[in-house]
Amino acid sequence: MQETDFDVIIVGAGFSGVYMLHKCRSLGLSARVIEAGTSVGGTWYWNRYPGARCDVESMTYSYSFLEDLEQEWHWPERYAKQSEILRYIDHVVDRLGMRKDIQTETRVTEATFNEATNRWTVVTDPEEQFTAKYCIMATGCLSTPNLPQFDGLESYEGDWHHTGYWPKEGVDFSGKRVGIVGTGSSAIQSIPMIAAQADHLTVFQRTPNFSIPAWNGPIGEDAEREWKKAYPELRARARVSPVGATFEAPDISAMDVSAEERERTFERRWNEGSFNFLAAYSDLLTNKESNVLATDFVHRKIRSRVNDPVVAEMLCPKDHPLGTKRLCVDTDYYETYNRDNVALVDVKTTPINSIVPDGIRVGDTVYPLDAIVFATGFDAMTGALLNIDIRGRGGIAFRDKWADGPSSYLGVAVAGFPNLFTVTGPGSPSVLSNMMVSIEQHVEWIADCIAHMEKDAVATIEPKPEAESTWMAHVNQLASEMLYQESNTWYLGANIPGKPRVFLPYVGGVGHYRTVCDDVAAKGYEGFTLA
């Protein structure tokens, strides 16, 4: 056991942890990042499945604090692929000389607050022990892969992989019969790629998802130049926008325009691609009638892209409002079902009952497969935090405190756990935004808070229980006014058996949330106890 003492321990070396380290070093603090993977990148280190790329524009999916780099960096495509994003974060880490402060291949298993010393003790696997005044969880919202408990998986004789834990050396599906379980964003990106390589692909679909075309392609020189010129203004606009984006979001209901105008607007948004579509009207996620109009438009698009009308109907989501499961963004997803080597199997009516040595059994039918891809998602937002045994004042366990769902003040700190911060934690906008914008906002707020504490020699900061309760009531109240409740999603924990059904992110908008956080800080960290 080696004991090492720092001002700050940061758990996780994705975009959050890396920026947090940079801010801590800028404040003159000693900091160590502890990361389970063999290198940095988080999401973009683990998710190497075929077709993995961002679905917000590359030009906006990067740090804004590195103004030189944003002018220098060339993003070749409108949506950057995983390897390009990984290359970017690797470059940032080297450029800022941060690698020596990042300890990889080390998983944090315990974090305990010592009330006598006001310090955190962090224990890892392989076993080491660290102490620090501050403990910052940059553990990611989508970093704990969910592998459902399928009977017989251990008997399977082919290869299987989870999209969120993909081998670095890649997987060659040539000449193979492949099965993929799931039709969320990961599956929708990988299905066209796997279908193009494999001998045959069977897609096991429980719930069809809405997907909008990405219209990916190279970024032209002129567009890149214009974008770079406008960067300060675009970044500023994203910071105060509802979802951290630069697209226009008019405050107008879909019900307040004529059918012809609505059709034109939906068509224009469809042709712009990606999340623009959801911003066509301000009430698509609050008004069922408006949502039905958008749903009808997308259903017609799906039917026009898929040749077989039976398959097209299977692909049209009808059990949840558009956008209440995270919208997917695709390249040739629906067209892939027009290929002769692709089959779609409904596993809602008859679920997968087991994995057998040579494939997947659904009811009485065995689908013989040489390889299986589980695109079955993540234990989102709370999974990575609850995997660590975090103990606060009086030995209270995070796992107990959050047994009925997470409770947090601003999604950034938790009552009873002094000097512990969660980057993009539940109760903050995080996953409902371009996460780069939310990550930077949280990291900067936490760094300012720590700077304030260091300047005034404050030993501890922690939320007051009543401030936390009021915030959670607000988070839940706003969520209850949205259509999100009508859908079984990871936003609600519904994808993990036994997980409490609580809407996890804050729907109040990135811009509004920033104002709330800034006001809290301006009022001397209102709602927190500083000791």
What is the spatial distance between Cα 358 and Cα 367, in angstroms, rounded to a whole number? 8
What is the spatial distance between Cα 322 and Cα 313, in angstroms, rounded to a whole number? 16
Q: What is the DSSP letter of 220?
A: P
What is the spatial distance between Cα 183 and Cα 377, in angstroms, rounded to a whole number? 10
375 makes contact with ligand NAP (CB under 6 A): yes
What is the spatial distance between Cα 257 and Cα 492, in angstroms, rounded to a whole number? 32
33 makes contact with ligand FAD (CB under 6 A): no
Residue 200 vs 325, nearer CB to ligand FAD: 325
Written as six digits, the tokens of 133 are 């005044």
Q: Do the Cβ atoms of 143 and 16 come closer than 8 Å?
A: no
What is the spatial distance between Cα 222 and Cα 214, in angstroms, rounded to a whole number? 20
What is the spatial distance between Cα 430 and Cα 441, in angstroms, rounded to a whole number? 10
375 binds, among ligand FAD, ligand NAP, none (CB under 5 to 8 A by kind): ligand NAP
Q: What are phi and psi of 524, to 5 degrees?
A: 70, 35
Residue the block writes with tokens 């890149």? 224
Helices 82-95 and 15-26, packing angle to 10 deg: 10
State how far Cα 30 lies from the chain centre.
29
Among 12, 242, 463, 511, binds ligand FAD (CB under 6 A): 12
182 makes contact with ligand NAP (CB under 6 A): yes
**Binding piece for ligand FAD, criterion CB under 6 A, among 41-49, 127-135, 200-208, 347-355:** 41-49
Residue 186 vs 422, nearer CB to ligand NAP: 186
Residue 86 vs 344, nearer CB to ligand FAD: 86
Residue 328 vs 449, nearer CB to ligand FAD: 328
Q: What are phi and psi of 195, to 5 degrees?
A: -60, -35
43 binds, among ligand FAD, ligand NAP, none (CB under 5 to 8 A by kind): ligand FAD
CB of 293 to ligand FAD, least distance (A): 27
Residues 70 to 109 in contact with ligand NAP, rule: CB under 6 A:
none
Written as six digits, the tokens of 309 are 């009308």
Residue 19 vs 79, nearer CB to ligand NAP: 79
- Indicate the pairing of strand 177-181 with strand 200-205: parallel
CB atoms within 10 A of CB 466: 11
Among 186, 291, 324, 460, binds ligand NAP (CB under 6 A): 186
Binding mask 62-101 for ligand FAD (x = CB under 6 A): ----------------------------------------
108 binds, among ligand NAP, ligand FAD, none (CB under 5 to 8 A by kind): ligand FAD
Residue 179 vs 182, nearer CB to ligand NAP: 182
Among 291, 331, 434, 460, binds ligand FAD (CB under 6 A): 434
Residues 192 to 211 in contact with ligand NAP, rule: CB under 6 A:
204, 206-207
**Binding piece for ligand NAP, criterion CB under 6 A, among 103-111, 183-191, 263-271, 514-522:** 183-191
What is the spatial distance between Cα 520 and Cα 527, in angstroms, rounded to a whole number? 7
What is the spatial distance between Cα 298 and Cα 276, in angstroms, rounded to a whole number? 14
What is the spatial distance between Cα 6 and Cα 409, in angstroms, rounded to a whole number? 25
Three-class HEC string of 93-139: HHHCCCHHHEECCCEEEEEEEECCCCEEEEEEECCCEEEEEEEEECC
Residues 273 to 292 in contact with ligand NAP, rule: CB under 6 A:
none
Report how many residues bind ligand NAP under the rule CB under 6 A.
27
| 451-454 long-range Cβ contacts below 8 angstroms, 24+ apart | 451/27, 452/521, 452/525, 453/530, 454/27, 454/29
Binding mask 312-331 for ligand NAP (x = CB under 6 A): --------------x--x--
10 makes contact with ligand NAP (CB under 6 A): no
* Kind and range of the H or E run holding 462: strand 461-463
What is the spatial distance between Cα 255 and Cα 28, in angstroms, rounded to a whole number? 55
Residue 21 vs 219, nearer CB to ligand NAP: 219
206 binds, among ligand FAD, ligand NAP, none (CB under 5 to 8 A by kind): ligand NAP
Nearest to 440 by CA among 69, 120, 66, 7: 66
* Kind and range of the H or E run holding 309: helix 309-315
378 makes contact with ligand NAP (CB under 6 A): yes
What is the spatial distance between Cα 264 and Cα 283, in angstroms, rounded to a whole number? 17
Among 35, 57, 101, 379, binds ligand FAD (CB under 6 A): 35
**Binding piece for ligand NAP, criterion CB under 6 A, among 331-339, 370-378, 439-447, 455-463:** 370-378
Residues 53 to 72 in contact with ligand NAP, rule: CB under 6 A:
54-55
What is the spatial distance between Cα 90 and Cα 508, in angstroms, rounded to a whole number? 33
Residue 73 vs 525, nearer CB to ligand FAD: 73
187 binds, among ligand NAP, ligand FAD, none (CB under 5 to 8 A by kind): ligand NAP
Residues 381 to 440 in contact with ligand NAP, rule: CB under 6 A:
431
CB of 44 to ligand FAD, least distance (A): 6
CB of 16 to ligand FAD, least distance (A): 3
Residue 275 vs 367, nearer CB to ligand FAD: 275
Among 58, 186, 209, 487, binds ligand FAD (CB under 6 A): 186
What is the spatial distance between Cα 17 and Cα 432, in angstroms, rounded to a whole number? 20
What is the spatial distance between Cα 529 and Cα 459, in angstroms, rounded to a whole number? 11
Contact residues for ligand FAD, defined by CB under 6 A: 11-17, 34-37, 42-43, 45, 47, 52, 54-56, 61, 107-108, 138-143, 186, 384, 387-388, 423-424, 434-435, 439
Contact residues for ligand NAP, defined by CB under 6 A: 54-55, 142, 148, 163, 181-187, 189, 204, 206-207, 326, 329, 347, 352, 375-378, 431, 490, 495
